Copies of this chain bind each other. A is one copy, B any other.
Amino acid sequence: MILIDVVNEIKKAESVILLTHVAPDGDAIGSVTGMYKVLKKMGKDVSAFIDDQLPEMYSFVPNVDKISRPFDKKADLVLIFDCADEERLGSSKEFLDKGPITVNIDHHISNTLYAKLNYVDTNAAATAEIAYQLVKLLGIDFDEEIATSFYTAILTDTGGFTYESTTSMTHHIAGDLINNGARFREVAEKVFNSLKFNKAKLLGKALNSLTLYKDGLVSYMEILKKDFEETGTDLSHLENIVSYGRNIEGVEVAVLLVEKEGEVKVSLRSKERVDVNKIASTFGGGGHVRASGCTIEGTIEEAKEKILKEVFKELEK
């Protein structure tokens, strides 16, 4: 199997470059930092590059400080983790054409198999599950740092073991990482129990506007320009707020409107049956069946009327 070929390439290489996608998430950062430590333990010359800022929430991950922006560097082997296509590498993409062996290790079904060796396992809930198997095949002992990195990757990519992608293998690996010292409590605390003060204030404003329509099937929230001003927040603080509307008992469709200059940003979520991608498409937006977004020109009152009309129409189908 191809994972053995990857193992052999790693064993042969003296120098290795680790890459992952831009806008790195927990799986990207956890896989790269874990493998960084593994390869260091093997005595390799290792570099880890991400062509993007690292989210502050992952600053606790062991060896995250070893990741840098890409710079000109030669290596015998390039290992790419969690990156479905070469465009998502950003400027790291140039390492694909520089001669050495390139290996693409991923779990996304959309992977374009862009490297020389490609190992894509869509049954893995996180790329770190594959990295875990790789470390086992390499015969390298886990330590607290490697275990914490991989655990972070798995916890975040499975939404705390709750996404459909979670399997008994996911739990098996998580258990083994705990036995190897993964600081799982700290990871959960940082990933799930960390809230910024001004984000909490913004959430309060959004919840104040929470209203139900259609016998509780539709929840509506709005965030006005003055809410951002009063709480010292911006569009980067919106993450997850629409989920509060979605999670209300009995709600099928959640609508969040965000007032911008001359236009309104719309976030839509649904629980079980309404295709909110279709609703967003009506306004030139898109996304998924259960999560989508669009932008509507005009005032917030105008946008509210337009979007609720479409939501109600879709609900009645």
Nearest CB on B from A230, distance (A): 11
CB–CB B171/A197 < 8 A = no
| 8 A Cβ contacts from A115-133 to B | none
Tallying the copies of this chain within the complex gives 2
A interface: dominant SS: helix
* Chain B residue nearest in CB terms to A193: B247
Task: Report the Cα distance A91→B168, complex, angstroms.
Answer: 40
| 8 A Cβ contacts from A148-181 to B | 159-164, 166-172, 174-176, 178-179
At the interface, yes or no: A138 with Cβ under 8 Å from chain B? no
Stretch at the interface among A20-28, A40-48, A208-216, A259-267: A208-216
A contact residues, total (Cβ < 8 Å): 47
At the interface, yes or no: A204 with Cβ under 8 Å from chain B? yes
At the interface, yes or no: A224 with Cβ under 8 Å from chain B? no
Name the B residues within 8 Å of A161 (CB-CB).
Answer: 160-161, 174, 184, 188
22 residue pairs of the A-B complex, CB under 8 angstroms, read A160-B162, A160-B188, A162-B184, A162-B192, A167-B175, A167-B178, A168-B178, A171-B171, A171-B172, A171-B178, A172-B172, A172-B175, A175-B175, A193-B246, A194-B247, A197-B248, A197-B249, A197-B250, A200-B248, A201-B208, A205-B208, A208-B208
Binding site for B on A (CB under 8 A): 159-164, 166-172, 174-176, 178-179, 184-185, 188-189, 192-197, 200-201, 203-208, 210, 212, 216, 219, 243-244, 246-250
